């Protein structure tokens, strides 16, 4: 939700900031702006639209300076417009802020400041911060910012520059991520690590309630009360190339193709080659604690919630622990009945999703054990949960989640097997078989990716649809939901995922010759039932696109189009079956001319409730 990038050093700041903002554009892209300090004076350039529009504006009317802060916006308060774009400044144009988050008491603060004579230009919550700092200007800029922030309720990642102290950037964090990176001759600030990876992997993450004073090559951190905070530099080992498109036309396509290797990395180091023993030291759970767990609650949002739904099936099947999956935003506010023998597993790619974080806090308050399955190292959730298991997928930049999902499934699968073993539900031999099945997944995904052209052709036949239905049973049901979500997100075609048997209780009324119905007709215990559902769709003139298992001849008589996945066990079938659905959504979106990596209205990490 909004991206911040800043530069302070001995070179022109604008090119660095523009490049950083382009990498952060996945976080929001309805307006953008940059402010620089040059010879002690502030210069601002901002406009509604994408970073490319800002670039055009800057080409017509350049600004310069070796200190600058930039912003790409996902509007919450105030519609996207030139005036509402960040940076925002105070009455005299001397204090400039960029902000990610929401100031909850902004109306109250705005009224008080207006009564004191402050003049507001925009309708945003953020502008209040610039005036509030101005109103509290006494002592150093850092002290003034800290004083102003102590009056604020809500969430923020904040960067401030000012003519009052034109040789530094002040940063602050409460609830929204902000990272400081040390380059050779300069310092960067950014909302995420990939945006600065090209320049540095030496980073410091701000924690909640911290402010920092950033100058070239160094930064000092304090609590809001002015107490110095010692922080450790973290070395990020991600390859800078991983944050680039690497020859693919979109990040989404690149990330779909990265899945075999991403899954290999997720397994690596966690499964012993010979013995097939599973290690998750980072869980922070002893064998005794695992044995005591009598309930598992997955909590997450969006695609990560779908991973939790697969987890529910896997944990009940292999560990025989009652499991359920909860939307984080619901879980956190409904006073869940959980205790110290409940394991809450929060799943999140970003580790910054506001509702998932809230669910973690609630679960901890109720004494449950909380582990996070997360992709972003050092993210808020990784700090707040009792234990964290990283998915090791590398940076996921495309707004539509792909490799994060399959690596989440990989971790959940391993955890289900581990818990099953510890609880004495599955034998060593059964566990070894399950792990072998998982180890084969990457090469099986590769064989699906070889068939990309066939999927592209099917996408062509679906590109003009206005609605689509996705049906699945058992572990195919969460994949139906995920396939429908992918299609909605990137192509704007209305799509519904349904448990196939539920179709006849309502959605069947929608079926006619214009309705593509994607059916997960996978081999396994529910195969015959799902064939029955295919018949029901065909009898009503529906157009069936089946995802089926190789060598299934029966399906050729029933479905209009078929995408085959390799033969596999039912337990790992979600990891394979989702791949064609990701490709289908991708190619349909491309053929409809949609902006695949930056779908309208969406942001990669939803850091507001």
* Rounded least distance, CB 3 to ligand AGP, Å: 15
- Beta carbons of 351 and 380 less than 8 angstroms apart: yes
The single residue among 68, 216, 302, 516 that binds ligand AGP, judged by CB under 6 A, is 302
Q: Is 302 helix (H, G, I), strand (E, B) or coil?
A: helix
Question: Crossing angle, helix 51-60 and helix 13-24, to 10 degrees?
Answer: 160
Q: Closest residue (Cβ) to ligand AGP?
A: 302
Query: Which residues fall within 8 angstroms of residue 480, CB to CB, at 6 or more apart?
Result: 470, 471, 472, 497, 498, 499, 500, 518, 520
Q: For residues 15-54, which are near ligand AGP according to CB under 6 A?
A: none
Q: How big is the chain by its Cα radius of gyration, in Å? A: 25
Q: Is 374 a catalytic residue?
A: no
The distance of closest approach from Cβ of residue 263 to ligand AGP in the complex, given in angstroms and rounded to an integer, is: 17
Contact 336, 440 (CB under 8 A): no
**Both tokens assigned to 556:** 């050729």
Lay out the site mask for ligand AGP across 330-369 (x = CB under 6 A, - = otherwise): ------------------xxx--x--x-------------
Minimum CB separation from ligand AGP for residue 252, in Å?
A: 9
Contact with ligand AGP (CB under 6 A) among 1, 129, 321, 399: 399
x/- contact string, 304-333, with ligand AGP (CB under 6 A)?
Answer: x-----------------------------
| CB nearer to ligand AGP: pick between 144 and 348 | 348
The full DSSP string for 444-509 is HHHHHHTTHHHHHHHHHHHTT-SEEEEEE-TTHHHHHHHHHHHHHHHH--EEEEEEGGGGGGTGGG
Tell the smallest beta-carbon distance from residue 302 to ligand AGP (Å).
2
CB of 164 to ligand AGP, least distance (A): 37
Q: How far is the CB of 344 from ligand AGP (least distance, A)?
A: 15
Q: Which is nearer to ligand AGP, 493 or 562 (CB)?
A: 493
Residue matched to tokens 């911060």: 129
Q: Which stretch binds ligand AGP (CB under 6 A): 129-137, 299-307, 467-475, 543-551?
A: 299-307
Q: Which of 2, 301, 568, 594 does the annotation list as catalytic?
A: 2
What is the helix, strand, coil percentage profile of the chain, to 5?
40, 25, 35
**Pairwise CA distance, residues 401 & 482, whole Å:** 10
Among 90, 192, 326, 489, binds ligand AGP (CB under 6 A): 489
122 binds ligand AGP (CB under 6 A): no
* Torsion, Cα of 107, 113, 116, 119 (10° steps): -100
399 versus 576: smaller Cβ distance to ligand AGP: 399
Residue 2 backbone phi and psi in degrees, to 5: 75, 145
Select 303 or 573, whichever has its Cβ closest to ligand AGP. 303
Strands 516-521 and 494-499: unpaired
Has 604 been annotated as catalytic?
yes
Tokens standing for 148? 């102003």
Shortest spacing between CB 349 and ligand AGP, in angstroms: 4
Quick one: which of 45, 187, 266, 303 contacts ligand AGP (CB under 6 A)? 303
291 vs 181: CA distance, rounded Å: 42
Catalytic residues: 2, 604
What does the binding site for ligand AGP look like in residue numbers (CB under 6 A)?
301-304, 348-350, 353, 356, 399-401, 489, 605-606
């Amino acid at each position: 939700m909004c991206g911040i990038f800043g530069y302070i050093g001995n070179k022109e700041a604008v090119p660095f900031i523009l490049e950083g903002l382009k990498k952060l554009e996945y976080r929001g892209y309805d307006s953008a702006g940059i402010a620089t300090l040059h010879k002690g004076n502030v210069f601002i350039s901002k406009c509604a639209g994408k970073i490319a529009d800002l670039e055009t504006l800057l080409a017509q009317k350049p600004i310069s300076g070796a200190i600058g802060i930039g912003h790409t916006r996902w509007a919450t308060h105030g519609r996207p417009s030139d005036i509402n774009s960040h940076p925002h400044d105070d009455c005299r144009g001397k204090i400039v802020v960029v902000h990610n988050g929401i100031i909850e008491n902004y109306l109250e603060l705005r009224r008080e400041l207006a009564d004191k004579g402050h003049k507001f230009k925009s309708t945003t919550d953020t502008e209040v911060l610039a005036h509030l700092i101005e109103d509290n200007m006494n002592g150093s800029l850092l002290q003034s910012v800290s004083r102003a922030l102590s009056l604020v309720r809500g969430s923020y990642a904040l960067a401030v520059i000012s003519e009052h102290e034109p040789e530094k950037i002040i940063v602050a964090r409460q609830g929204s991520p902000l990272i400081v990176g040390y380059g050779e001759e300069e310092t960067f600030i950014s909302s995420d690590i990939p945006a600065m990876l090209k320049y540095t992997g030496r980073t410091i993450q701000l924690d909640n309630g911290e402010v920092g004073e950033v100058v070239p090559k160094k930064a000092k951190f304090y609590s809001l009360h002015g107490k110095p905070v010692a922080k450790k530099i973290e070395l990020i080992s991600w390859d800078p190339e991983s944050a680039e498109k690497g020859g693919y036309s979109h990040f989404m396509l690149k990330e779909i193709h990265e899945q075999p290797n991403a899954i290999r990395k997720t397994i690596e180091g966690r499964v012993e080659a010979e013995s097939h023993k599973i290690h998750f030291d980072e869980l922070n759970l002893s064998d005794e604690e695992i044995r005591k767990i009598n309930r598992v609650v997955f909590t997450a949002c969006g695609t990560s919630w779908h991973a939790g739904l697969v987890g529910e099936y896997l944990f009940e099947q292999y560990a025989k622990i009652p499991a359920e999956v909860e939307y984080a935003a619901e879980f956190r506010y409904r006073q869940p009945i959980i205790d110290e023998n409940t394991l809450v597993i929060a799943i999140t790619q970003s580790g910054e999703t506001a509702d998932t974080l809230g669910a973690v806090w609630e679960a901890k308050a109720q004494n449950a054990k909380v582990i996070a399955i997360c992709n972003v190292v050092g993210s808020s959730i990784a700090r707040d949960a009792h234990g964290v298991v990283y998915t090791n997928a590398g940076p996921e930049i495309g707004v539509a989640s792909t490799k994060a999902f399959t690596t989440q499934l990989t971790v959940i699968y391993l955890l289900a097997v581990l818990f099953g073993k510890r609880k004495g539900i599955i034998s060593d031999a059964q566990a070894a078989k399950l792990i072998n099945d998982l180890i084969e997944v990457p090469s099986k995904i590769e064989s699906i990716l070889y068939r990309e052209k066939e999927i592209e052709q099917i996408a062509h036949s679906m590109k003009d649809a206005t609605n689509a239905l996705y049906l699945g049973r058992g572990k195919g049901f969460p994949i139906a939901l995920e396939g429908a979500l992918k299609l909605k997100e990137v192509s704007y075609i209305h799509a519904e995922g349904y448990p196939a048997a539920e179709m006849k209780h309502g959605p069947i009324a929608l079926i006619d010759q214009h309705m593509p119905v994607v059916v997960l007709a996978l081999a396994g215990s529910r195969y015959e039932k799902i064939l029955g559902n295919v018949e029901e769709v065909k009898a009503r003139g529906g157009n069936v696109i089946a995802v089926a298992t190789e060598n299934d001849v029966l399906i050729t008589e029933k479905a209009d189009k078929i995408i085959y996945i390799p033969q596999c066990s039912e337990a790992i079938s979600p990891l394979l079956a989702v791949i064609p659905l990701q490709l289908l959504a991708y190619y349909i979106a491309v053929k409809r001319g949609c902006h695949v990596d930056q779908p309208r209205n969406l942001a990669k990490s939803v850091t507001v409730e």
